[in-house]
Amino acid sequence: MYDEDKLYDTIETLVEIADGRGVSAAQVALAWLLGRPGITSVIVGARTDQQLADNLAAAALELAPEEHARLEAVSRPPLIYPHWHQRNSANDRLSAADLSLIAQHMEP
């Protein structure tokens, strides 16, 4: 873990969204992950039947675009090399694959 403050900020945001929707933070986290580009499945670590049922309910939970944006903003890691270099020196030549990683770090 590189940034413990970012971790706790992300958890607080998950809990706030969950409280507002009347669901668990785990459901929000799993629904958020399932809604991210390129994610086709998640692995749940349920130890009880209750945890499993709660985790499976995340498949039906659809987060609002504002909720996705809040979670993305609070958890986004810094851009690493070579991506920051591409953003700074070749942003007019980026492919769709490059943009899927870099676009959120570019100014509009």
**Per-residue pLDDT tens over the stretch 17-41:** 999 999 999 999 999 999 887 888 8
Please give the pLDDT value at position 108: 63
Polymer length in residues for the chain: 108
Please give the pLDDT value at position 56: 95
Q: Which residues of the chain, if any, have pLDDT below 50?
A: none
72, 83: one domain? no
Number of domains making up the chain = 2
Spatial contact of 31 and 63, defined as CB atoms under 8 Å apart:
yes
20, 73: one domain? yes
20, 68: one domain? yes
- Assign 70 to helix, strand or coil: helix
65, 21: one domain? yes
pTM score: 0.77
70, 22: one domain? yes
Residue 88 belongs to what domain range? Answer: 78-108
- Assign 11 to helix, strand or coil: helix
